[in-house]
């Protein structure tokens, strides 16, 4: 099936978007441009809309039944998209990836266990580990000023100190970093050596950009398949976070037994809408996904141009995955949390960099999955706020 042309997939108008009741469009007043939470502004993919309508038409809104259909659909998608062969019988469902992470950790390690996360990283990781009864151990990513990577030496030190697991972000939010097969293989070797579990959050996997290779963690080695669970969802790739269906994937008997030891309610929380929407996404949603990625690529191009013209001091490293831009404001006098000034002085809502961990001080996260008009206005507002601040600083001197 051909891709949806990038010029045929467009953001909804602001008037239409402001009719949405999701967090993105109800958190702030209408004069604020909301470029924070990870929701896309594109219309719902037609195959998913049809699946949701079919659920309603057959009054199929009872408790969830077998997850087999979505397991089969995801297995086929993974084989086609990533060349990853996964047995569909090793897939279980729950409400969302956050619940999948917490329930997997609860089953895998004893209360009080130390779990490694790698900031700057998806902010809820700092809360999900304690929710599972565990303790966060931070091993920040290496950053040489140009690229970031997993600190393998730091990870080994954490294991030597007693860490029992890793909560991996693959691809890595907020950077859009896609870990290499070699790096993931090294993580797997370390985890195997120290008897640790890995929970690999791969929710942004479908959003890897053209020309970039995504490596599912469970595909890298037998060791990875023995000690890891991958958690993912159609929610980010197809913008259906509210539909509530996440997948927990095991590729070995040890981890499958772990998934099957979870309380039955973990699976029962899955939504019928989410399950059937996910089947549609993984089966018929690739053309829409490819169209969305083309639009995101154009937004990234535009952001580079806008920053060069209006805010050249703000640094933007182009992501390899997803639609999130990690912006470095440290050359400006905007403090540890630039999102505060962005909101108060420019009416642009960004995610606070420090919420992703201490390496996020001086940064903010911006959502690229919007129209060119909204993105242009947002950067112009930010530039105006900086110009006004600069004028004020000049007056003070």
Q: Which band of pLDDT confidence, cut at 50, 70 and 90, is reported for residue 389?
A: confident
Question: Per the domain annotation, does 95 fall within a domain?
Answer: yes
Residues 295 and 214 in one domain: no
pLDDT for 8 equals 66
Verify that 293 and 279 share a domain, yes or no: no
C-alpha distances out from residue 385 to 120, 138, 310, Å: 26, 34, 11
- What tokens appear for 127 in the block? 């809360």
**Is 49 among the domain residues?**
no
266-289 pLDDT, tens digit each: 999 999 999 999 999 999 999 999
- pLDDT at position 395 is 43
> Is 50 a member of any domain?
no
Same-domain check for residues 239 and 339: no
Query: Do both 156 and 202 map to the same domain?
Result: yes
**Cα distance between residue 211 and residue 202, in whole Å:** 18
In the block, residue with structure tokens 């970093």 = 177
Closest to 279 in 3D by CA, of 50, 71, 70: 70
Question: Looking at the domain assignment, is residue 296 inside a domain?
Answer: yes
Are 189 and 311 contained in the same domain? no
89 pLDDT above the threshold of 90? yes
Mode of pairing for the β-strands spanning 348-349 and 315-316: unpaired
pLDDT at residue 2, as a whole number:
46
What contacts 394, CB < 8 A, 6 or more positions away?
none
Picking from 162, 161, 211, 165, the residue whose alpha carbon sits closest to that of residue 187 is 165
Q: How large is the average pLDDT for residues 358-384?
A: 98
Q: Which of 266, 284, 302 is the last residue of a domain?
A: 284
Quick one: average pLDDT of 362-389?
96
Instruction: Measure the N-to-C terminal CA separation of the chain; round to a whole number of Å.
Output: 62
- Give the model confidence (pLDDT) of 309-345 as tens digits: 999 999 999 999 999 999 999 999 999 999 999 999 9
**Cα angle 14, 15, 19; round to 5:** 105
Q: Are residues 233 and 215 in the same domain?
A: yes
Asked whether residue 47 carries a pLDDT value surpassing 60, the answer given is: yes
User: What pLDDT score was predicted for residue 64?
Assistant: 93
Rounded average pLDDT over 157-180: 98
Distance CA 367, CA 359 (A): 19
**Residues 266 and 377 placed together within one structural domain of the fold:** no
Cross-strand pairs, 137:
116
> What range defines the domain where residue 270 resides?
62-284
Kindly state whether residue 51 falls inside one of the protein's structural domains.
no
Q: Where are the beta strands (DSSP E) in the chain?
A: 33-34, 91-94, 114-117, 135-138, 142-143, 148-149, 165-169, 197-201, 228-233, 246-249, 315-316, 324-328, 348-349, 351-352, 363-367
- Pair 266, 359 in one domain: no
Domain count, the chain: 2
Tell me, yes or no, whether 269 and 218 share the same domain: yes
Q: Residue 168, Cβ neighbours under 10 Å: how many? A: 24
- Span 171-216, pLDDT tens digits: 999 999 999 999 999 999 999 999 999 999 999 999 999 999 999 9
Q: What is the CATH number of the domain that holds 184?
A: 3.40.640.10
pLDDT tens digits along 143-157: 998 899 999 999 999
Query: Quick count: other Cβ atoms within 10 Å of Cβ 250?
Result: 24
Same domain, 87 and 196: yes
Q: What is the pLDDT of residue 393?
A: 59
Q: Residue 31's domain is classified under what CATH number? A: 3.90.1150.10
Which DSSP state fits 318? P
Asked, for residue 57, whether it belongs to a domain, the answer is: no
53 lies in some domain: no
Residues 34 and 178 in one domain: no
Give the mean pLDDT of the chain.
Answer: 95
**Residue 2 belongs to some domain of the structure:** no
Q: Return the SS3 of 104.
A: helix
As a three-state string, the secondary structure of 19-76 is: CCCCHHHHCCCCCCEECCCCCCCCCCCHHHHHHHHHHHHCCCCCCCCCCHHHHHHHHH
| Distances, alpha carbon 376 to alpha carbons 156, 305, 372, in Å | 44, 10, 6
pLDDT for 394 equals: 55
Q: What pLDDT sits at residue 332?
A: 97
pLDDT at 1 over 80: no
| Mean pLDDT of the 344-349 span | 98
Q: Mean pLDDT over residues 234-256, rounded?
A: 97
247, 265, 284 - which closes a domain:
284
pLDDT at 371 over 80: yes
Read off the pLDDT of each residue in 64-82 and give the average, rounded to a whole number: 96
* pLDDT at 141 > cutoff 60: yes
Buried b (16+ CB within 10 A) or exposed e, 195-209: ebbbbbbbbbbbbbb
Span 1-19, average pLDDT? 75
Domain boundary among 230, 259, 284: 284
* Integer CA distances (angstroms), 60 to 57, 68, 246, 393, in order: 8, 17, 19, 62
- Please check whether residues 108 and 40 belong to one and the same domain: no
- Mean pLDDT throughout 101-109? 98
Other Cβ atoms within 10 Å of 233 Cβ, number: 30
Residue 129 confidence (pLDDT) above 60: yes
Identify the band that residue 391 occupies on the pLDDT scale cut at 50, 70 and 90.
Answer: low
Rounded to whole angstroms, how far apart are CA atoms 171 and 207?
A: 9
CB atoms within 10 A of CB 49: 13
User: Percent of the chain beyond pLDDT 70?
Assistant: 96
How large a percentage of the chain has pLDDT more than 90?
94
Strands 91-94 and 348-349: unpaired
The stretches of 222-285 forming alpha helices (DSSP H) are 222-227, 253-260, 264-268, 272-284
Its pTM stands at: 0.95
Residue 4 pLDDT exceeds 80? no
């Amino acid at each position: 099936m051909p891709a949806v042309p990038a010029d045929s997939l467009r953001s909804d108008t602001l008037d239409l978007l402001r009719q949405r009741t999701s967090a993105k469009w109800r958190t702030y007043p209408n004069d604020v441009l909301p470029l924070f939470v990870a929701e896309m502004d594109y219309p719902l993919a037609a195959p998913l809309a049809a699946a949701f309508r079919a659920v309603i038409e057959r009054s199929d809104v009872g408790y969830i039944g077998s997850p087999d259909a979505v397991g089969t659909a995801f297995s086929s998608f993974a084989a086609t998209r990533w060349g990853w062969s996964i047995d569909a019988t090793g897939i279980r469902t729950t409400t969302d990836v956050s619940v999948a992470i917490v329930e997997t950790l609860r089953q895998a390690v004893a209360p009080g266990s130390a779990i490694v996360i790698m900031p700057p990283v998806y902010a809820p990781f700092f809360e999900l580990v304690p929710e599972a009864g565990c303790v966060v151990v931070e091993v920040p990513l290496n950053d040489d000023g140009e690229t970031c990577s997993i600190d393998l030496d730091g990870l080994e030190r954490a294991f030597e100190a007693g860490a029992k697991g890793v909560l991996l972000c693959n691809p890595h939010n907020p950077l859009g970093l896609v870990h290499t097969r070699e790096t993931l293989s090294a993580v797997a070797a370390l985890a195997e050596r120290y008897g640790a579990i890995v929970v690999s959050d791969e929710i942004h996997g479908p959003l890897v950009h053209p020309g970039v290779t995504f490596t599912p963690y469970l595909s890298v080695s037998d060791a990875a398949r023995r000690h890891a669970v991958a958690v993912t969802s159609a929610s980010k790739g197809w913008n259906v976070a509210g539909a509530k269906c996440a997948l927990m994937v095991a590729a070995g008997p040890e981890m499958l037994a772990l998934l099957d030891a979870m309380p039955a309610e973990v699976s029962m929380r899955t939504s019928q809408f989410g399950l059937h929407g996910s089947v549609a996404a993984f089966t018929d949603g690739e053309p829409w996904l490819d169209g969305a990625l083309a639009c995101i690529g154009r937004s990234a191009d535009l952001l580079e141009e806008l920053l060069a013209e209006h805010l050249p001091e703000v640094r933007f490293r182009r992501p390899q995955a997803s639609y999130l831009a990690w912006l470095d404001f440290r050359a400006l006098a905007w403090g540890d949390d630039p999102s505060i000034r962005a909101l108060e002085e420019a009416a642009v809502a960004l995610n606070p960099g420090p919420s992703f961990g201490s390496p996020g001080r001086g940064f903010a996260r911006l959502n690229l999955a919007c129209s060119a008009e909204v993105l242009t206005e947002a950067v112009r507002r930010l530039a105006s706020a900086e110009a006004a601040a600069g004028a004020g600083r000049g007056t003070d001197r």
